Amino acid sequence: GGRAGPSPLRALRIAVVVCLYWFTSIAMVFLNKYLLDSPSLRLDAPLFVTFFQCALTAALCLGLSLGAACGPPCSGLPALRLDPKVSRSVLPLSAVFIGMVTSNNLCLKHVGVAFYNVGRSLTTVFNVLLSYLLLKQTTSLYALLACGVIIGGFWLGVDQEGAEGTLSWTGIFFGISASLCVSLNAIYTKKVLPVVDGSIWRLTFYNNVNACVLFFPLMMLLGEFRTLYNFDKLGSPSFWGMMTLGGVFGFAIGYVTGLQIKFTSPLTHNVSGTAKACAQTVLAVIYFEETKSFLWWTSNLMVLGGSFAYTWVKGLEMRKVQEDPNVKNGERNETGV
């Protein structure tokens, strides 16, 4: 639509897309927590859960692309076929992608949903660090101060989880590595996109197929096949229903994220993500009937506030660059998602 002003229809569309993103993202976290670490399920196979989600995503991509060949509802999607040469070019990104989804799930397995957001809060900090180390981009003082607040919130959160006796260093380790991988993933995605003709769709397909292949030896190494063989609910339709639902949400989150960025902007997407994290934390505390200390909530607010401030500062800097084309190139770095 035209950008003259937000028509009621456009505003409604944006509201629907944002709600969809919130719902998909929060539902996925709670579902994954159930699959990875539910006392009623007792399945200790985090890689298998992740592998299944990747396999389902690849299958859904393929299915939709076949649907696109048949006609209008899905048309506009590129035809997918596996080209080993492209697969090899995408491999470095796939390794980062595997690191990202695995650390994410392992972090979620070891920490509560309420702390999950703080556990993975260092992505922004890694964005700044990596864009300096890899892309030689500098960051303004205000953006660095915002990062400082995030780091402070992270440390306070770790401290408070420790004080409550719910701290898992394993969870923290995977939280930090997930943050690093999310950041690397964004940088590598930009590098690899030309190989797949700029199609995020194709990239998703190759990434997930590669991941499935790479997960196999990892699952063997960690003895997950034995775990699965001894798993009592392997024949249970409700278990596979939950697994499939988790996979569908995992597939949908990529699409919904893309939609939210398209209908709003990368900055608004970041703000929405921060607000969603806040809602998710409150929901988790209520749902799991946890009581948290004042300082614990403070750590969450610091992380959210810091992320929000960083997004805001970046937004102002970008606007300045758009208004004044003579601003030196060093300040022209895009926002990390």
Per-residue pLDDT of 231-246, as tens digits, reads 999 999 999 999 999 9
HSE-CB for 235 with a 13 A CA cutoff: 2
Residues 183, 336 contacting (CB under 8 angstroms): yes
Q: Give the separation between CA 239 and CA 250, rounded to whole angstroms.
A: 16
Give the largest Cα separation in the chain, rounded.
65
Residue 182: per-residue pLDDT = 93
Per-residue pLDDT of 169-207, as tens digits, reads 999 999 999 999 999 998 899 889 999 998 888 999 999
Kindly report the average pLDDT of the chain as a whole number: 90
Give the containing element (helix H, strand E) for 35.
helix 8-37
Instruction: For residue 259, give both structure tokens.
Output: 């939609």
| Number of continuous H segments (helices) and E segments (strands) in the chain | 12, 0
316-323 contacts: CB < 8 A, separation 24 or more? Answer: 317/140, 317/143, 318/267
CB atoms inside a 10 Å sphere around CB 8: 7
Residue 69: per-residue pLDDT = 76
Residue 334: per-residue pLDDT = 45
State pTM to two decimals. 0.88
